[in-house]
Amino acid sequence: MSAHRVRLRRPRPGDLGRVVTLHGELYHREFGYDHRFEALVAGIVAEFAERFDPRRERCWIAEMNGEVVGSVFLVRRSRTVAKLRLLVVHPKARGQGLGRRLTRACIRFAREKGYRKIMLWTQSHLGAARAIYQSEKFKLKSRERHFSFGKRLVAETWVLALQP
C-alpha cells in the first residue's frame, strides 16, 4: 500500500473508541502492556472529547480502505504549549511514512495556532516514534524510570520549539 492511499481526516462517531482499542490491542501484543494502558488511553480520549476546543486542538484519524489504521492528537496544555498525544500506526500501515505524516500534521497545526512549543511523553523502547521525533527536531528533555502497565519502563519527555 502506498502512503497516498491512507487519508488523514477528522474523527467521526466510533473513531475515538477505535483509537482506544487500537492502542490497547497493539501495545499488549507488541510490548506486553496490560489493561491499565488501555484505561489511560481511554481517559485521554474522553478528556479530549469532553473538553475539545476546535480553535486550538485537533485529532487526525488515518484511514486506509475504510479502516482506522492510525491517529494522533494535538491538545492545548497552555496558551503557548501544545501536547502531542496518542500517535499510533497499525502494523498494516507502517513503513510508508504515516507516523511522520501524522506528526507533521500536528506541527503544522501548532504553528498555525501560534503555539510556541510542542511537548510529548513517550517510552524509551518505542524506537520508531522516537526516530520520528528526533528527525523532526524534538529534543529529549527528561527521562524517568517507572513501573506502569505491568512493565518496568523509562518515560521520556520531548519538546519541540516552534519558530514564530
pLDDT at residue number 68: 97
Q: Tell me: the pLDDT tens digits for 30-46? A: 999 999 999 999 999 99
Buried b / exposed e across 113-143, counting CB within 10 Å, b at 16+?
Answer: eebbbbbbebbeebeebbebbeebebeeeee
Residue % of the chain over a pLDDT of 90: 96
> Mean pLDDT of all residues in the chain?
95
Above 90 in pLDDT, residue 92?
yes
The pLDDT confidence band at residue 164, using thresholds 50, 70 and 90, is low
pLDDT at residue number 1: 42
**CATH number for position 17:** 3.40.630.30
All three cell numbers of 24, joined, read 490497547
Looking at the whole model, is its pTM more than 0.85? yes
Q: Tell me: the pLDDT tens digits for 117-141? A: 999 999 999 999 999 999 999 999 9
With cell 500534521, the residue in question is 105
3-state SS track over 22-89: HHHHHHHHHHCCCHHHHHHHHHHHHHHHHHCCCCCCEEEEEEECCEEEEEEEEEECCCCEEEEEEEEE
User: Which of the residue ranges 51-55, 60-64, 77-81, 160-164 would you say has the lowest mean pLDDT?
Assistant: 160-164
With cell 499488549, the residue in question is 28
Q: What is the DSSP letter of 94?
A: T
Nearest-angstrom CA–CA distance, 122 and 140: 10
Nearest-angstrom CA–CA distance, 92 and 65: 11
The range of the structural domain enclosing residue 115 comes to: 3-161
* Region 57-71 average pLDDT: 97
pLDDT at residue number 129: 95
Number of domain units in the chain = 1
* Region 80-90 average pLDDT: 98
Are the beta carbons of 83 and 107 closer than 8 angstroms?
no
Above 50 in pLDDT, residue 3?
no
